[in-house]
Amino acid sequence: MSSSLDASAYRDLLQSFLSEDIGAGDITSEATVSATQRARGEVIAKAPLVLAGIELFAEVFRLLDPTAKAEIICRDAEELAPGKVPARINASARALLSGERVALNLLQRLSGVATLTRRFVSAVEGTSARILDTRKTTPGLRALEKYAVLVGGGKSHRKDLGEAVLIKENHIRLAGGVSAALAAAQGAKGRAAWIEIEVTNLDELRAALPCGPDVILLDNMSPALVRQAVEQVRAHDPARKIRTEASGESRWGTSGNSPKQARTGFRWAR
């Protein structure tokens, strides 16, 4: 997936978002604002953040007003300080009012993902570790949220269930164990980009190693246990053909000031 974004490729998706929000019509704007009135809006960062989705932000207003003009001042992946204005839009006043919530919601969501990703990437800087995303995305927003991860400096993992084999706890249980699940997965080698298995303890790891997975995912292990597991993988596979991943719940991004909720403001100047 490219770290650049062609906003026009998402016009149908954006239109569906607008249709959901506007419904039968923005009766407030239609009742109070002239159809011929034009206005200028600018988006303002209210917290330090990594920008993501600015072209989508502008595209929302182009859908509502084909004559809308966007002045893009900052590009995706730039770090913005509070008060920075990344874009200004000149368009029909009604279009600005009707589209602002969809445009802002997308910009906030994607910038929040990019900002949090950048924090993780900075935390492992100087090591060989990479930050990967998962399929735990918002339905309908996967491509955009994975794009935001790339903007933040992360890497893309599986884009969908059809790309690679990832044997998880329930697969192991239903298949009859780690070894049985990996043996059965060999039949997918021609179709899968890689074969990966999730293990939660050292016993499962030891069962997986002789079966030749491409990747072993160390799930919800403590840092000390992850260290032991990686040492065992390297002892078994000195050539390091088996990659290791670690996953677990992060405590970052749970407070009201978290980058997941990186906020932007919107004001008008006529």
**What tokens appear for 134 in the block?**
């998962």
Domain match, 171 and 120 both: no
**What tokens appear for 209 in the block?**
């190693």
Domain match, 229 and 192 both: yes
What does the pLDDT look like over 211-222, one tens digit per residue? 999 999 999 999
Q: What is the CATH number of the domain that holds 21?
A: 3.90.1170.20
Averaged pLDDT, 236-240: 94
- What is the pTM for the complete model shown? 0.88
Domain annotation covers residue 247: no
Q: Which of 153, 152, 155, 156 is nearest to 49 (CA)?
A: 152
In this prediction, residue 4 has a pLDDT band, given cuts at 50, 70 and 90, of confident
Domain match, 200 and 263 both: no
**What tokens appear for 65 in the block?**
């007003």
Task: Catalogue the active-site residues.
Answer: 101, 136, 168, 198, 219
Strand partners, 113: none
Domain annotation covers residue 12: yes
Instruction: Check residue 217 and give its pLDDT.
Output: 97
Domain match, 82 and 32 both: yes
**What tokens appear for 145 in the block?**
């949220």
Averaged pLDDT, 103-129: 96
What does the pLDDT look like over 34-58, one tens digit per residue? 999 999 999 999 999 999 999 999 9
In this prediction, residue 248 has a pLDDT band, given cuts at 50, 70 and 90, of confident
Give the domain extent around 187. 161-238
Domain match, 99 and 196 both: no
Domain match, 220 and 262 both: no
Domain match, 120 and 12 both: yes
Number of domains in the chain: 2
Q: What is the CATH number of the domain that holds 169?
A: 3.20.20.70
Domain match, 225 and 264 both: no
Tokens 């070894």 -> residue: 179
In this prediction, residue 249 has a pLDDT band, given cuts at 50, 70 and 90, of low
Domain annotation covers residue 50: yes
Residue 138: its H or E element: none
